[in-house]
Amino acid sequence: MTLEDFLEANAQALNALKAELTSRARPALGFDLIEGGETGLMTSRAGGSVAWPVGRTLPLDRHGKAMHFLLQLNLAEFPALPDFPADGLLQVFLSNMVNEHAIIFRDGRFPREDRFPIVQGDGFALVYHPEGTPLVETAWERPKADYPITAEGYETTATALTLYSEEAMIPPDTNWHAQDIATKLHSLVQTHGDGGIDMYELTMHVFADSDPAGLQIGGYASPLQMDQRSVFEDARAYDRCVLNLTAFEGFDVPDMNFAILIGSGDLRARRFERSILIADTD
């Protein structure tokens, strides 16, 4: 049986799965870096100095080491997302150790001895400054490491972030929120296929509208292979995606995906300090 034959023979069941995915769609905003774009203390940008309250210490990781200031988003510059603040500044800090927290299975087991997912203040920090918070330009020193996650000069050179997409995003097949759909799709193939169906092509057909942006707020996390919430049940309470990102110019962590998640109640209450970070690699 060819894929085309399978799609035709099971059109009703496949359309039902697609309809279920569509019903779960969430608004998502995709961003891109613009070289030469306007940057300022309060603009949306990657790198450069930090807009920070006077006298307040910049975030440290669990070892007491400084983190990289990765990016900030001025939420007033973009369309408001459900439950997100309509204004204020959202900032992301990452530790050099963050790439150590990707789930990597060894001999069919995951390493329980380490911390998964990453909690706030461990290897990352998500900081929200409400509109009107007094902030000043604050220099930061790029942490030293054998393999630093940001490029040389990142701490002094800012690159503008601009909105390039606004869409309803369905959960990707690797996301916990689509696991039941993926399971039903596999069952459909086992029941009505003859072993010759390319599951990758079929999955791409059903989940065709879930392609994420490289840097996105809202929508769904887009793990490359596995959502850590499928293993760590207590992390499933973090049901909203604040930000999903892969490597971009100046952020040098290739072949990895990072997603910052938060519970719906904490998002509405602006308790961004209660967020977690999941990471995986392909």
CATH code, domain with 245: 2.30.320.10
How sure is the predictor about 280, in pLDDT bands with cuts at 50, 70 and 90? confident
101-115, 122-136, 198-212, 250-264: segment of lowest average pLDDT: 101-115
Check pLDDT > 50 for residue 106: no
Q: Please report, to the nearest 10 degrees, the dihedral formed by the alpha carbons of residues 46, 48, 53, 57 taken in order.
A: 100
Q: pTM for this structure?
A: 0.91
13-17, 102-106, 113-117: which has the minimum mean pLDDT? 102-106
* Phi and psi angles of residue 33, each rounded to the nearest 5 degrees, phi first: -85, 135
Number of domains making up the chain: 1
pLDDT band per the 50, 70, 90 thresholds, residue 108: very low
* Average pLDDT, integer, range 244-260: 88
Do residues 75 and 84 touch, judged by C-beta distance below 8 A? yes
Q: What is the pLDDT of residue 116?
A: 63
d(CA 22, CA 14): 12
Decide if pLDDT at 39 tops 90.
yes
Domain containing 137: what range? 3-281
Is the pLDDT at 180 greater than 60? The verdict is yes
* Average of per-residue pLDDT across 58-82: 94
